[in-house]
Structure 1
Amino acid sequence: MAVFVGTSGWQYRDWSGALYPSEVPQRLWLEEYARHFGTVESNNAFYRLPSPETFAAWRDRTPPGFVMAVKASRFLTHIKRLREPAEPVARLMAHASALGDRLGPVLLQLPPTLRADPAALDACLACFPAGTRVAVEPRHPSWWTPEVRAVLTGRGAALCWADRGSKPVTPLWRTADWGYVRFHEGRARPWPRYGRTALRSWAGRIEDTWPGDADVFAYFNNDPGAAAVVDARAFRRLLARPAGLPAPAPLPYGP
């Protein structure tokens, strides 16, 4: 099993001096990030879809084997609320395809007020090109039904396993032959860090669930104070078979 571990986003000012040496300008942060992690989850498309040229530049600025997951536009998930998905999905993929072989899974994070609609979810997933890995992160409890699980399984989409408060807030369903995990906020100190016990539990869940030939993508979204950087590095050390870059040597600066 290959577990790709990274962070949700990379452009955080308080990471200067932590992940990024103070002398490295912000325009080179992606290159610096890719020295330490083999994957990242890009949040940019959620707020404003980058141009194909921007995606292509990210491809060129990262090394072979680097993987960029892309969070789908809020226009699709929060404004259209999965309705009439054909055009926004086609536009997203037309732009993101400029990543070439750097393109990883697409994340659909649903709004917490969106109640379960298995038919709408199925219609949305059907719009993605064959072979696209799509992870779905519902946030309303009405989604935890056999019908929703059947839609995800039938489309080969991964239910995003989400953690908040160092515990799962989603069912631990395996709906695809690959996995996707997001860490939003831990309970350790300093906030919002994750403790070693919580991370060890998650490593065990992943390794007990997926077979040896599966890909699993894990992203830390607890960005304040560079907690995501520290926790992602610690989590990778706990995994038996992390993927991407080898665990880097301790940084001479920051946490």
Structure 2
Amino acid sequence: MAAKGKIRVGIGGWTFKPWRGTFYPKGLRQADELEYAASQLGAIEINGTYYRLQKPESFAKWRDAAPDGFQFTIKASRYCTNRKDLRETGESIEKFCNQGVAELGDKLGPIFWQFMATKKFDAEEFDAFLDMLPGKWEGVKLRHALDVRHESFICPEFVALMRKHNAAIVCADSDKYPQLADQTADFAYARLMRSREEVETGYPDAELDDWAETAQQWQDGKQPDGRSYASPDAPSLKGGRDAYVFFISGAKVRAPAAAQALSARTSS
């Protein structure tokens, strides 16, 4: 096992008109935007999978547009997560995985399962849900992160459950949703949602420095001080963790600049 994990910093999606002429060079063909974005960043969240199924050919096309070492993370279908009882979602999970996600091969990063802010923590329900998440699909390893947004998840029981299943809790930097920075898997996943348009890099230098330090602590297998935790336990992970950090929402026009600024701080 390597001495520590790898930090990948990225953005959500790659099609956004205000990025043309700011992030994307003027005159770049829209068809070439993914290839360009993948050459400048370490990862991209695919969010379209939340709304509808994609074709295997699309996943293969995305894979081929990205360089070696790059990874895509995938937002799971809302038909899996927006349910009254998650114990009834087995068929939907299978359908989601069967759309072609394995086509990404070693360019597949974690799948993140986002829940509505009204969804409350129920230990038995979430234990059953996590049991249904496959660890492999068509020979490709799957890793899972849960993006929970209700305050009932701020409890040691949820953290222990996630550690039992080696699933990551998405660490949010948001004005709307609580932050759970507890590390529960062999990878870390963060979504930073406070970019400001008046700041060229989205986040001020001091905040980027702070998040760079956090990502490097995750990379080393540690759980850094200064974040919000639901459990007093803070086990270290020998060998380190991969860390995925995405700039999402907020002033979206600044997301690529923020990602590049953070990446420059974390590259070794």
Does the TM-score normalized on the shorter chain lie above 0.5? Answer: yes
Q: Structure 2: which amino acid aligns with 1:30?
A: L
Q: 1:222 aligns with which of 226, 249, 253?
A: 249
Q: Structure 1: which amino acid aligns with 2:259?
A: A
Q: Does the alignment pair 1:136 with 2:146?
A: yes
Within a 5 Å distance, the mapping from 1:89-100 to structure 2 comes to 89-95=93-99, 96-100=101-105
Q: Does the alignment pair 1:202 with 2:211?
A: yes
Q: Using a 3 Å threshold, how does the CA distance of structure 1 residues 140 and 168 change in structure 2: closer, same or farther?
A: closer
1:183 offset after TM fit, Å?
0.6
Q: Using a 3 Å threshold, how does the CA distance of structure 1 residues 57 and 157 change in structure 2: closer, same or farther?
A: same
Q: 2:263 aligns with which of 229, 236, 248?
A: 236
Q: Using a 3 Å threshold, how does the CA distance of structure 1 residues 48 and 58 change in structure 2: closer, same or farther?
A: same
1:173 maps to which residue? 182
Structure 1 unaligned regions, length at least 5? 242-255
Q: Secondary structure at the match of 2:68?
A: coil
Deviates more, 1:182-191 or 1:120-129: 182-191
Q: Give the conservation status (yes or no) of the 8 Å contact 1:181–1:219.
A: yes
Q: 1:9 aligns with which of 10, 13, 16?
A: 13
Q: 2:192 aligns with which of 159, 178, 183?
A: 183
CA distance in 1, matches of 2:250, 2:19: 9
CA distance in 2, matches of 1:238, 1:168: 26
2:123 maps to which residue? 118
TM superposition outliers: structure 1 runs of 4+ over 3 Å = 222-225
2:236 maps to which residue? none
Size of the aligned set, in residue pairs, is 240
1:50 offset after TM fit, Å?
1.0
Q: Does the alignment pair 1:43 with 2:29?
A: no
Aligned-residue CA RMSD (Å):
2.2
CA distance in 1, matches of 2:65, 2:8: 19
Q: Secondary structure at the match of 1:185?
A: coil
Q: Structure 2: which amino acid aligns with 1:82?
A: L
CA distance in 2, matches of 1:191, 1:62: 26
1:246 maps to which residue? none
1:190 offset after TM fit, Å?
4.2
